[in-house]
Amino acid sequence: EDQVTQSPEALRLQEGESSSLNCSYTVSGLRGLFWYRQDPGKGPEFLFTLYSAGEEKEKERLKATLTKKESFLHITAPKPEDSATYLCAVLGNTDKLIFGTGTRLQVFP
């Protein structure tokens, strides 16, 4: 059964304090791993798609990496506006996107 586990559930950072969010997955035939950002009361906003182990993608202060078992979302020198819930999802042979429960990030000035 396809499964996604995200850790930690919640993360509090001081502004400028870099850290990483983890997404561990098991999936039959990985076709893509996705990262989304979700603000309270809003729909998820697409960030990245990763397709194969070793792939990396960057966007401003965010960098996503992928191995055969997990993905990391690295946040470099975060700012308060980076506070949100970050969701990871995988697409396998079932054609259904399977989501993790998310990591709630709070960045304090």
Residue 60 interacting with another protein (CB under 8 A): no
Residue 108 interacting with another protein (CB under 8 A): no
Distance (Å, whole) CA 74 – CA 55: 14
- Which tokens hold the place of 77? 């020198």
Using alpha carbons only, what angle is made at residue 36 by residues 31 and 40, rounded to the nearest 5 degrees? 150
Could you say which of 15, 17, 45, 56 contacts another protein (CB under 8 A)? Answer: 45
Total of residues contacting another protein (CB under 8 A)? 25
String marking each residue 66-105 x if it binds another protein according to CB under 8 A:
---------------------x-x-x---xxxxxxxx---
Q: Provide the 8-state DSSP code for 16.
A: T
Q: How many CB atoms lie within 10 A of CB 108?
A: 11
Closer residue to another protein in complex, CB, 54/109? 54
